[in-house]
Structure 1
Amino acid sequence: MLPMDWKYQLLIIIILYSVNMSTSVFEFTNIKCTSLDKKFDNFEYCHLKSVNRTFKYVSIKVNMYVLPVTNVKVNFSLLKKFSGYKPFLYNITADACRVLKYPKFNPVVGFFYSIFSHHSNMNHTCPYNHDIIVDKLPADFVNTKITKTLPFPVGDYLFDSKWIINNVNRAEVKVYGTLTNSNEL
């Protein structure tokens, strides 16, 4: 085997350094919450707050009018923008009560749940006898999950979730975000 020329060694080091330095950054761009049955639930607030250029967070509070909630399914899909939002990787319906009871039952659902679970009061098994809150979920926390745990390609994304309670679609939450290469910033 012939030794490599020093120029090729330097080129390999530069390429490896560039790949290591190229990281992605997630940023929230919008959020939309819709109650589909105002007698069952209603969103008290659903907003994206930008504290400064580098710190944004999402907060949601849904008031539940019919308690206890014992039968919850969630359908979520991840969409990527390609001339409009198109399906990207996931479109899953899961029994939320079962996932909360057995977190490792479905690793994909467990992964997406872990994105907001630390910032929510939805961190116990059914039944739910209270309003549901996601409090100040920061973009940098989501960024760590999306770019470090399970890397995604850069682009605009939509996380669309439909909340089905007692076999009736009761609410829809759409979270929009963009994933950019940090070298482009």
Structure 2
Amino acid sequence: MKKASIFMIVGSLLLLGLFKFPLWNIMLGAPQYPEPLGMNIFIDGIEGQNEFDIQNIDGLNHYIGMKTLPKPEDMWEFSVFPMVIGGMALLGVLLGFLGYFKKIGYQWFLLWFFLMAVLGTLGMYDFNAWMIDYGTNLDPNAIMKLQNPDGTPMSYKPPLLGHKKLLNFDAYSYPRLGGYFMFVGMLFTLLAYMIGRNKIKLNRL
């Protein structure tokens, strides 16, 4: 159980990487931009990949009626997400220590994993909903009003994951280092459960 508990503690602590590194990244590339425009999405705000990327993206968005990129005070998520991540990391470390001293069973590690998976899924759903609103709720007085072939207004929603063509821009959306820290951390906690379960099975033989 001690080995399983150490995996649980380390996995939970890896979540803290989200306070330092970006969770997600969206890149916009086009012929007129030899250096693609990018934004890194952290759990507490959005930053340009390069110094003027946010200004340039907002400038492009102005022409098609998209809202400016939100500042931390504009979205409740940027206040809540750090508390959720910090709370889950603390809870995971606590469960790991309790498991180390045999105060709880390995099943608690799986419970933590499922709770984190649910919260992560809700976070991705919220992120996608924000992008839908960002890319479809356009200013009717925008300078450029483009339509699909069927006459409906064109959507500029970036992809949740992968590549999408937006006019002459190629949009790419992928996890960044903080996201990988979270993924590996969750994998460690799942391994903690499996190690603890196998240990109990071996002791029963």
Query: Structures share a fold, TM > 0.5?
Result: no
> Higher helix proportion, which one?
2
State which structure, 1 or 2, has the greater radius of gyration over its C-alpha atoms.
2
What TM-score do the two structures reach when normalised by structure 2? 0.28
- Comparing both structures, which one devotes a greater share of its residues to strand? 1
TM-score by length of 1: 0.30
